[in-house]
Amino acid sequence: MRRAAILICLMMFSGLVANRTLAVLQTHATTASLITTTSPQVRLPGTIYVSQQGSIYAISGSTVRRLTLPQGGDWTQPRVLPDDSLLVIRRFDEYSDLYHVSASGHVISRLTSDSQASTNRTLQLDHWILWPAIGPDGTSVYFATDSPKPAPSQSYEVDFSLWSAPLGTAFTIGDNGVSGATRWSVPDLFTGGDIQPVPLPDGSVLYSSYANTGKGTVVTRLGLQTTPNSPMRSLTTLHQDCGAPAVAANGVTVAMVCTNSGQTADLEVATLAGNALGPLRVVAANCLCNSPSWSSSGDSLLYMNASDPNGNFGLWYIANAGGAHPGAPRRVTDSSVDLDATSAAAWSSR
């Protein structure tokens, strides 16, 4: 099984297994081509940022460039800010941090500090921050982290909860929470928790929530919270097993990946009306797809998909995905390129 598929599955479990899975993925071996040695198969407007083998790359038309980020750790999960700078995760073997960088890769600031990682070699004291997202007004950042720990200084558990903080403020992740930040969710323990926050224009947050089925399995559902720590409203069922939400610029068109309790997934789109989703429409069926993201104009959809025998995750594109007549899925990257499937592409209009 490919490394990204392993991550998608194993991140549903907490404890040492989940933590070590994140670490093992740092040193994967691959024979895939670097994206800078290939040419995009589809020329799209603007700039698209993707992650491969610990580096961030920018695709602009027919050219690809590597961001000149500092050496050390794996850089992943880019998000574009209104001024076209980026938020990115820097992930090491046993912890990760959030950085603000320029479009070329220059570090503007380090936004988080794992309070234990620099002074302690005990694995269970380290923390992860992943899946950053920008608030609608561009002044706040939302993220998932495995803090607070249920048993400080003792637990290997990795159950993510959702937090938000002012964008220009540095904050510290510790065993008892995140300083200078607001907690949004309380996860279902021993599942992997709550991930992939998407802040909405009305101030609520849409996200993926891992949940126990009561039958020895864990699935995902789309959750919606209107205020921090308010009760979660489930927008999808346990049977649908939907996650990886992405919301278009209009604030109501939602893309998601649903397995419908099967062995493959469907990339589906629905309209968010108040506290409920409308009918789900399949735009890519029976795929090994993940990590959808919308264009800045909100009419085109990018996603990761492994569609060939070698299992490489490529970047794919659907025009007019939220409309009545979506286009056919098209591969953007060369088939020899293997991107990080759990790092959604970030699409800037410039």
Asked if residue 206 lies in contact with residue 191, where contact means CB atoms within 8 angstroms, the answer is no
Per-residue 3-state assignment (H helix, E strand, C coil) for the chain: CCHHHHHHHHCCCCCHHHHHHHHHHHHCCCCCECHHHCCCCCCCCCEEEEEECCEEEEEECCEEEECCCCCCCEEEEEEECCCCCEEEEEECCCCEEEEEECCCCCEEEECEEECCCCCCCCHHHCCCEEEEEECCCCCEEEEEECCCCCCCCCCCCCCEEEEEEECCCCEEEECCEECCCEECCCCCCCCCEEEEEEECCCCCEEEEEEEECCCCCEEEEEEEECCCCCCCEECCCCCCCEEEEEECCCCCEEEEEECCCCCCEEEEEEEEECCEECCCEEEEEEECEEEEEECCCCCCEEEEEECCCCCCEEEEEECCCCCCCCCCCEECCCCCECCCCCCCCEEECC
Considering only CA atoms, which of 130, 89, 78, 113 is closest in space to residue 315?
A: 78
Q: Which residues contact 344 (CB under 8 A, 6 or more apart)?
A: 77, 244, 246, 291, 292, 293, 302, 303, 304
Q: Where are the domains of the chain?
A: 3-348
Give the pLDDT confidence score for residue 125 in this predicted structure. 60
Homologous superfamily (CATH) for 3-348: TolB, C-terminal domain (2.120.10.30)
Asked if residue 182 lies in contact with residue 163, where contact means CB atoms within 8 angstroms, the answer is yes
Q: How far is CA 143 from CA 136, 195, 271, 307, 325, in A?
A: 14, 8, 24, 30, 33
Q: Which two tokens stand for residue 92?
A: 């090491």
Q: Which two tokens stand for residue 123?
A: 């694995």
Give the pLDDT confidence score for residue 176 in this predicted structure. 84
Considering only CA atoms, which of 151, 233, 232 is closest in space to residue 184?
A: 232
Asked if residue 197 lies in contact with residue 142, where contact means CB atoms within 8 angstroms, the answer is yes
Full pLDDT tens readout for the chain, 350 residues:
333 333 333 333 333 333 333 433 343 445 689 999 999 999 999 999 999 999 999 999 999 999 999 999 999 999 999 999 999 999 998 889 999 999 999 999 999 976 454 455 555 667 899 999 999 999 999 999 998 877 656 566 789 999 999 998 888 888 788 999 999 999 988 899 999 999 999 999 999 999 988 887 899 999 999 999 999 999 999 999 999 999 999 999 999 999 998 989 999 999 999 889 999 999 999 999 999 999 988 889 999 999 876 789 999 999 999 999 999 999 999 999 999 999 999 999 98
Residue 270, φ and ψ in degrees, nearest 5: -150, 165
